[in-house]
Amino acid sequence: ITRQPETWRETVQIVSDRKDELLRLVEEFRPEELLFTGCGSSYYLSIAAAYLFQEKLGVSAKAVPASDILLKPASVFSRGRRTLVIGSSRSGDTTELVRAMETARKQPSVRTLGITTNPDSLLAREGEAVVLPHVQEKSVVMTGSFSNMLLTLQLMAGWLSGDTAFLEELKRLPELGQERMAKAEELGRIVGGDQRFDHYIYLGQGSLFGLALEGMLKLKEMTQVQAEAFNPLEFRHGPISVLDERCRVILLSDRSLRPYRRSLIEDLRSLKAEVVLIDEEVGEERDDTPWDLGSGLSDQARILLYLPFLHFIGYFRALSLGLNPDRPRHLNQVVVL
Ligand code: F1P
């Protein structure tokens, strides 16, 4: 987890070296739709990326689990629409994803691009791919691969949108991540180590929904503690009925949520849940002190800085339960069908 900012630096370098080629791929093909896909964490990062690309480029972008492409291609592809499928996978060998990319390549008007950390994988060898070989994870649970693949997609969104201010922010992320790592670890220890709670709810909207899902999955994988993820305002439409004093809500917030945030937090608290608020600014909320993990950055850039903290929650919870966070039960690094 702590190695992430160091690997981000190398990712910026590797992906920047391929900038012209990646831009050419997209600009020559002129996709009318972007389709992001993956499994597990890699699907969740695809959700974050789809929102990001839609916002930055104004082009139709969506995310689907790789199994949708594999099993129900007709429900995914729009006939005659030039679609660029971007498939992410740490291992590059997850069967659903590899077969989904094969299925995609057989469709008319579709091109594919893979993102993986494994140069020897099927994903890297069978089609065009960005490979991040420096991100080698021994743990079964994916942490650094998620953030590095997300950073790759953030860089691509920056170049394609021509948003130079955003790109400048992205280049600063390794340094900022390093500076804030001790804080992310401390906060992760406080939140993850607290035994009063046995039900965690992660809330986030847009790209932050992808991160909420990632936080939820990491906690579930490392600890088997009950964890769920929702869109913040959607949560009030039914799921809120589960709240009690054993629930901890991790609320990931950006500028768009701020006008509604206070009343949401009041509702959550009135039902006895304890809320951890994550946003960029410090001290704006009267009854909560948001933790400054991403101040001074745009909503779309700072999402990366939240990942070590989300990963640490699962890590410290696992340690407090006497579990090995690297070796969760029932899980392997690669799911092969
Ligand atoms: C995808 C994945 C992981 C999950 C688990 C099984 O792997 O679902 O997200 O944590 O370890 O595999 P990949 O396709 O990104 O290699």
Atom of ligand 1 nearest to the CA of 42: 15
List, in sequence order, every residue forming a beta bridge with 226; answer none if it has no partner.
199
- Give the residue among 65, 63, 61, 98 at the shortest CA–CA distance from 81: 61
The residue to mutate among 41, 135, 145, having the most atoms of ligand 1 within 8 angstroms of its beta carbon, is 41
Determine which residue's CA is closest to atom 3 belonging to ligand 1: 40
* Stated pTM of the model: 0.96
**How far is 113 from 23, CA to CA, in rounded Å?**
12
Global ipTM: 0.94
Half-sphere exposure in the Cβ direction for 103 (13 Å, CA)? 19
Question: Minimum mean pLDDT among 95-99, 136-140, 253-257, 306-310: which range?
Answer: 136-140
Of all residues in the chain, what percent carry a pLDDT higher than 70? Answer: 97
282, pLDDT greater than 50: no
39 lines ligand 1 (CB under 6 A): yes
331 lines ligand 1 (CB under 6 A): yes
Domains and CATH numbers, the chain: 4-162 (3.40.50.10490), 179-320 (3.40.50.10490)
Alpha carbon 176 to chain centroid distance? 18
The residue to mutate among 91, 142, 220, having the most atoms of ligand 1 within 8 angstroms of its beta carbon, is 142
Q: For 207-265, how does the pLDDT look when each residue is reduced to its tens digit (9 = 90+)?
A: 999 999 999 999 999 999 999 999 999 999 999 999 999 999 999 999 899 899 999 99
**How far is 92 from 16, CA to CA, in rounded Å?**
21
41 lines ligand 1 (CB under 6 A): yes
Tallying the residues shown for the chain, one arrives at 337
Half-sphere exposure in the Cβ direction for 223 (13 Å, CA)? 27
Q: For 23-66, how does the pLDDT look when each residue is reduced to its tens digit (9 = 90+)?
A: 999 999 999 999 999 999 999 999 999 999 999 999 999 999 99
94 lines ligand 1 (CB under 6 A): yes
Determine which residue's CA is closest to atom 13 belonging to ligand 1: 89
The token pair that represents 216 in the structure block: 């939820």
284, pLDDT greater than 70: no
| Cα(41) to centroid(ligand 1), Å | 6
283, pLDDT greater than 70: no
Atom of ligand 1 nearest to the CA of 91: 16
Average pLDDT, the chain: 93
Residues with Cβ within 8 Å of residue 332, at least 6 apart in sequence: 140
- Give the residue among 110, 112, 111 at the shortest CA–CA distance from 123: 112
Determine which residue's CA is closest to atom 5 belonging to ligand 1: 333
Determine which residue's CA is closest to atom 4 belonging to ligand 1: 40
| Cα(333) to centroid(ligand 1), Å | 6
**How far is 314 from 324, CA to CA, in rounded Å?**
11
- Give the residue among 225, 221, 217 at the shortest CA–CA distance from 139: 221
95 lines ligand 1 (CB under 6 A): no
